[in-house]
């Protein structure tokens, strides 16, 4: 064989190797594109599943709130029914003492409903003023020391240890009241 032929064969073999490398690169590229599409598809599906999960969670929580409110309203309806019975009772004119006892029982029923929901009254009278629990509407003279609550104008309430309505109060300014004396 001549050297020329050997060179030509070597060139052809080198071209084949380059061609094989090109094919394998094309194949790799095609595989990477396919893999990229699969990953993109999985990402889109995961995002859609997450959106569905978020929507279902929101609907579920809304249902819980609605059902909790429904239960509370049903208990309050019992209280209202008892008030109606008491107010439309024929006996209230004849027996004021039993009417008052009935109203007291209804009041206790209402307190029990609130207690079951975690609602409690803020005890304020003669306590130290605390802006976290009280709203001062007046600063007045009294026999109590300064910053003590003299009068509760509107009760405040806690629900599960959180203030849902502050007590509206009158607070002592530490000065003794002036007494009117007639001579």
Q: What is the CATH number of the domain that holds 140?
A: 2.30.22.10
* 91 and 130 fall within a common domain: no
pLDDT band at 71 (very low <50, low <70, confident <90, very high): confident
**pLDDT one-digit tens code per residue, 105-139:** 999 999 999 999 899 999 999 999 999 999 999 98
Parent domain of 68? 1-117
The pair of three-digit structure tokens given for residue 138, joined into one six-digit string: 């007046």
Adjacent-strand bridge partners of 172: 140
Task: Say if CB 138 and CB 171 are below 8 A apart.
Answer: yes
Separation of first and last alpha carbons in the chain: 150
* 7 and 82 fall within a common domain: yes
3: three-class secondary structure by DSSP? helix
Task: Say if CB 127 and CB 155 are below 8 A apart.
Answer: no
* 136 and 167 fall within a common domain: yes
CA 115 – CA 12 distance, rounded (Å) = 94
The number of distinct structural domains making up the chain is: 2
* 64 and 110 fall within a common domain: yes
In sequence order, which ranges of 88-180 are alpha helices (DSSP H)? 96-116
Q: What is the CATH number of the domain that holds 91?
A: 3.90.20
| Residue whose tokens read 């309203």 | 73
* 12 and 23 fall within a common domain: yes
| Residue whose tokens read 């959180």 | 162
Q: Would the pTM count as exceeding 0.75? A: no
The pair of three-digit structure tokens given for residue 9, joined into one six-digit string: 């064969």
pLDDT band at 21 (very low <50, low <70, confident <90, very high): low
Note the Cα 175 to chain centre separation in Å.
44
Mean of pLDDT values over 75-98: 78
| Residue whose tokens read 């019975």 | 85
**pLDDT one-digit tens code per residue, 4-19:** 777 777 777 767 666 6
Structure confidence at residue 92 (pLDDT): 54
Note the Cα 181 to chain centre separation in Å.
57
**pLDDT one-digit tens code per residue, 141-176:** 888 888 899 999 999 999 999 999 999 999 998 788
* 96 and 126 fall within a common domain: no
């Amino acid at each position: 064989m001549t050297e020329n032929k050997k060179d030509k064969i070597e060139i052809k073999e080198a071209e084949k190797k380059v061609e094989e490398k090109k094919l394998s690169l094309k194949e790799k590229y095609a595989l990477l594109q396919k893999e990229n599409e699969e990953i993109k598809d999985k990402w889109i599906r995961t995002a859609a599943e997450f959106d569905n999960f978020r929507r279902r969670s929101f609907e579920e929580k809304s249902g819980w709130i609605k059902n909790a409110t429904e239960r509370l309203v049903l208990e309050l309806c019992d209280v209202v029914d008892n008030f109606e019975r008491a107010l439309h009772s024929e006996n209230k004119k004849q027996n004021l003492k039993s009417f008052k006892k009935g109203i007291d029982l209804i009041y206790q029923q209402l307190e029990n409903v609130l207690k079951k929901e975690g609602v409690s009254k803020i005890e304020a009278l003669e306590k130290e003023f605390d802006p976290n629990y009280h709203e001062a509407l007046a600063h007045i003279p009294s026999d109590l020391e300064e910053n003590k609550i003299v009068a509760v104008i509107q009760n405040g309430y806690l629900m599960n240890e959180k203030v849902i309505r502050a007590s509206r109060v009158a607070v002592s300014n530490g000065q003794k009241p002036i007494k009117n004396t007639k001579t």
